Amino acid sequence: MACKRGALIVLEGVDKAGKTTQCKKLVQLLQQSGRPAEMMRFPERTTTIGQLVGAYLENKSDLEDHTVHLLFSANRWELVPLMKKKLEQGTTLVVDRYAFSGVAFTSAKPGFSLDWCMKPDVGLPKPDLVIFLKLSPAEAALRGQFGEERYETSVFQQAVQQKFEELFKDPSVNWQVIDASQSVQAVHENITILSQKIINTAQDLPLGELWK
C-alpha cells in the first residue's frame, strides 16, 4: 500500500504572535510521538531568491513593490518540489508563514488589490489547515519593541491584520483562529488538537491546489 501523505499545516499571524515558537513546539511534539514532521518558514532566506528578500527586509536594499511581491512568491514556488516530496513521503510540514502573509503584507501597501496579490500564488500546495494566531497590537507591544526590519511598525501591522481578516472570509481555505494572548502552553494545546485531527484526515486525501 502507498505511504499515507503528511499534512500541510501553516501558522500565520502578525509580528510577535508566536508563530515561530509554536511551529517549533508542534514539530517537537509530533516527532516525539513518532510522526515524521519538519518545520519550514517563508521567507526561506537561504536560497538565492531568499537572500534578495532578506536584504530587502533588513533594509539593506530597495526593491520595487511589485517586484518584491513576486520574489516572495518565487521563494515559495522554488521550494514546492521539496514540499511535495516530503508530503508524499508521509512527513507533515509545519510552515511559519505562507502565501497568506504574502497577500496580507503587499495588499496593505497603497495601490494593491487582494486579487492581484493572490495571483502569483494560485496553484501552490494548499494547506490542509491554516492557523491564525490572533494578537492585538497592544498585546504584541508587551512582547517587546518592534525590530529594525521593514514592515515592523504598529500602523503597518494593523493594516496587515485587516487584510488577514479579509482573507478569513475565503471558505476555500481551512482557517482556524486561536487567541495568541494565552500562555505559550495553552496556545500549543489548542494547536495540537487541531493538528492531530487534520493529520488523520489529510492522510487519505489528495493534496489540493491553493485558490484554484
What angle separates helix 99-107 from helix 65-77, to the nearest 10 degrees? 180
Burial 128-153 (b: 16+ CB within 10 A, else e): bbbbbbbbeeeebeeeeeeeeeebee
Residues that bind ligand Z5A (CB under 6 A): 13, 15-21, 42-43, 57, 72, 97, 101-102, 105, 143, 151-152, 183-184, 187
Shortest distance in whole angstroms from residue 56 CB to ligand Z5A: 9
Distance CA 99, CA 59 (A): 22
Shortest distance in whole angstroms from residue 19 CB to ligand Z5A: 4
Burial class (CB in 10 A: 0-12, 13-18, 19+), 116: middle
Nearest to 200 by CA among 95, 90, 126: 90
Shortest distance in whole angstroms from residue 6 CB to ligand Z5A: 21
Shortest distance in whole angstroms from residue 98 CB to ligand Z5A: 7
Query: In the chain, what is the greatest distance between 2 CA atoms, to the nearest angstrom?
Result: 53
Closer residue to ligand Z5A in complex, CB, 192/203 = 192
Closer residue to ligand Z5A in complex, CB, 37/160 = 160
Closer residue to ligand Z5A in complex, CB, 112/203 = 112
Closer residue to ligand Z5A in complex, CB, 88/151 = 151
